[in-house]
Chain A
Amino acid sequence: MAERTDDSRLDASRLESLLESARILGSSLDLHEQLNHLMRTLMGRLLVTRALIALRDGDGWRAAAVRGVPGIREGEPVTPERLERAGLTLRLPIGEGAREAGFVAAPPPRRPGWPEDQSEREFLQALLSLASATIENALAHEEIIEANRALAQKIHELNTLVDLARAFSASIDPEEIARLLMLTLSGRWTVRQHALLAWPPGQTPLTLLRNLSAEEAERWKRTAPQDGEPARDGAFLLLPLRSGETSIGVVALGPPGSGRDYSAEDVEFCGALVAQASVALDNAWRIQDTLYRRQMERELELASAIQQDLFPKELPRVAGLELAAANRQARLVGGDYYDVLGAAEAPLLCVADVAGKGLSAALLMATIQATLRALLTFPLGLTELANRANRLLCGSMPGNRYATLLLARYEAATGECEYVNAAQCQAILLRAGGELELLDATGLPIGMFPALQYESRRLKLAPGDVLVIYSDGVTDAQAPSGDEFGIERLCSTARALAGATAEQICAGLLEAVNRFVEETPQYDDITVMVARRVSEAG
């Protein structure tokens, strides 16, 4: 009778336990919770102080919950040998046959009556088959969570690509593009140390560093992968920046903050972002090139307009003297200037060549003109005029700027001429009788040394005498063969034009240069000024 009572009590406790387990196991999708419950129930029923639940992991088993078992930790693989070493000789399968999701391992139960107690075995079997269904559910749930995480990550990656593509397309600033790329990479992989180095040909190099010194980053310039493939340098991942087939830079990423190294997929995605940035950078550099060229062209157009405005619209009439001048601007280089200034009785002929090109050269020309005009309001001798002009221009010319200048003051009454040649080309004096003299330099260019004292020379133009002043663009003009026009050719051309008017000589000289150079592009400004005394002034 007592036994029956015990039996019925036991039955009741088993039923209660099963119901409770069904409720708990069914109410949660949390695998950990389920295993804990199962563990507690089983240890209580079997009266064991040690137990382990192993779940299927590929072809083998993995410890999913461990209580009091020395030498086996959760997450570790479980083998029959390890179970035996740990003294866990009881093995109760969770689920059956091929659907066996795992098993419970424990030492021999201390439960009285075990292992003959058939009812207890049946109870445990029921409990475990109940657990097998819910564990499978929980595992599936975990898989879904994992899949969701993977999906969220993929979506994030896709968004990142779209996001960057949009931002890149909106920017033409290489540095901005580079910064965005590095922000994105450091955000995506929680990277603390990173560098971007780019050395595009013909462009300003780019260097972006985060928590790295320039010296540390310098080595990647040498070790950057040349084949376009990602490479490793210790903990750093190196990704090449490419322009077409050429390596023009490298992105170096330090270890991810997660502590996990870059996976193959990470490297691939990184590579895609860097490749996308490469294209954007390449485009931005090209655009900057174009913008720079366009700006240069605009500047040259402006310079050319300024220069044109500086030339006198017409030359003054001087008694007994024919004057003619012409200038042909070169496209890119050149800063020639000519003028006839001052009073008609004693005009100042000047031909200058400013070093440099473009806007700054044009502005310098304007300064020279303004300086000479201002000084001409004082009654100055020619050398003093040159000295003062030099001193003033030294103060207003930036650093390495200078100009060559020939100043010739002509006395209409006498035909006398005083000149200062500040390193300008040798002017040609062609006498009516056919003799030819060259007027050498009498000093250094203006604008270099403020304390210079210029010397002058004098000559007298007789009727029929011709003075030819010119810039080096004339003598340096090149034929397709590479030969230069030269002073001898200039002299013989001038001699051949003897007897012609100043206008005709000027035109004839330019025409000769034109014929000589044929189609060769003109590299420097060409300026010719011709003065021919026609008669005694009257």
Chain B
Amino acid sequence: MTRSFLIETRNEGDVRILALKGFLDAHTAPRFEAAIEEELRGGRSRLVMDCSGLDYISSAGLGVFMTFVDEARGAGGDIKLASIQPKVYQIFDVLGFPALFDIQPTVEEAVARFGSAAGEG
């Protein structure tokens, strides 16, 4: 059983938006890990995850956020989560992510949280 997972990236000023689509599980997590790593290596540390298309996330997927959040913050950025479907949010919630991550209802709000520099790009 292979379920697809796609990442689409775009810029919103100097904020990088990663739109996650499909199933982020142990099978697809390494790909996601590589994608975030590439962003950070490329000097892009202001990241917003658009989770509106994310249908499922496993612990391995959540582990990717844990892996890079300190690095992103250390580089002056952050990994913010936005637009999470209720079913998926429940997992984030149950595992205590809201205490550690900035989770916003919409991508726009998440981008705005990075402050005014975001719009100058």
Q: Give the interface of A toward B (CB within 8 A).
A: 149, 152-153, 156, 159-160, 163-164, 166-167, 170, 176, 179-180, 182-192, 210-211, 256-259
Contacts and interface: CB of A to CB of B under 8 A. Distances in A.
A183 B64 contact: yes
Contacts of A187: 58-66, 95
Majority DSSP secondary structure for residues of A touching B: helix
A257 B26 contact: no
Q: Report the interface size class on chain B.
A: 20 to 34
Nearest to A165: B26
A161 to B, nearest CB: 10
Contact of A184 (B58, B90, B97, B100): B58
A126 B58 CA distance: 50
A69 B60 CA distance: 47
A159 B58 contact: yes
Given A152-B90, A163-B58, A258-B99, A186 B26 contact: no
A188 B97 CA distance: 10
A186 B95 contact: no
B99 A188 contact: no
A316 B29 CA distance: 66
A170 B27 CA distance: 9
Contacts of A167: 25-27, 60
B59 A160 contact: yes
Contacts, number: 93
Contacts of B33: 183
20 contacts: A149-B93, A153-B94, A153-B95, A160-B58, A163-B27, A170-B27, A183-B26, A183-B33, A183-B63, A183-B64, A185-B59, A187-B58, A187-B64, A187-B65, A187-B95, A188-B63, A189-B95, A190-B96, A192-B70, A257-B100
B67 A163 contact: no
B95 A190 contact: yes
Contacts of B100: 190, 257
Nearest to B100: A257
Nearest to B58: A163
Interface in B52-108: 58-67, 70, 90-91, 93-97, 99-100
A272 B60 CA distance: 15
Contacts of B64: 183, 187
B116 to A, nearest CB: 29
Interface in B12-67: 25-27, 29-30, 33, 58-67
A153 B58 CA distance: 11
B60 A210 contact: no
B44 to A, nearest CB: 21
B30 A149 contact: no
A150 to B, nearest CB: 9
Contacts of B93: 149
Contacts of A163: 25-27, 58-60
A211 B26 contact: no
Interface centre among A167, A183, A186 (most CB of B within 10 A): A183
B59 A149 contact: no
Contacts of B67: 183, 186, 210
Contacts of B26: 163-164, 166-167, 180, 183-184
Contact of B29 (A152, A180, A190, A211): A180
Nearest to A154: B94
A184 B63 contact: yes
A347 to B, nearest CB: 63
Nearest to B23: A163
A337 B90 CA distance: 72
A63 to B, nearest CB: 25
A163 B57 CA distance: 10
Given A153-B94, A210-B67, 5 more contacts: A156-B95, A170-B27, A183-B60, A184-B26, A184-B59
Nearest to A153: B94
A152 B65 CA distance: 20
A186 B91 contact: no
Contacts of B27: 163, 166-167, 170
B35 to A, nearest CB: 14
B94 to A, nearest CB: 5
Closest 9 CB pairs of A and B: A187-B62, A187-B63, A183-B63, A167-B26, A258-B96, A188-B59, A187-B59, A186-B63, A184-B60
Contacts of A256: 96
B47 to A, nearest CB: 17
Contacts of A152: 90-91, 94
Interface centre among B60, B70, B95 (most CB of A within 10 A): B60
A276 to B, nearest CB: 11
Nearest to A259: B99
Contact of B63 (A156, A182, A259): A182
Nearest to B96: A258
Given A156-B94, A163-B58, A191 B29 contact: no
Interface centre among B27, B63, B91, B97 (most CB of A within 10 A): B63
A179 B62 CA distance: 13
B90 A190 contact: no
A176 B30 contact: yes
Nearest to B32: A183
Nearest to A191: B66
A174 B58 CA distance: 21
A149 B96 contact: no
B96 A257 contact: yes
Nearest to B65: A187
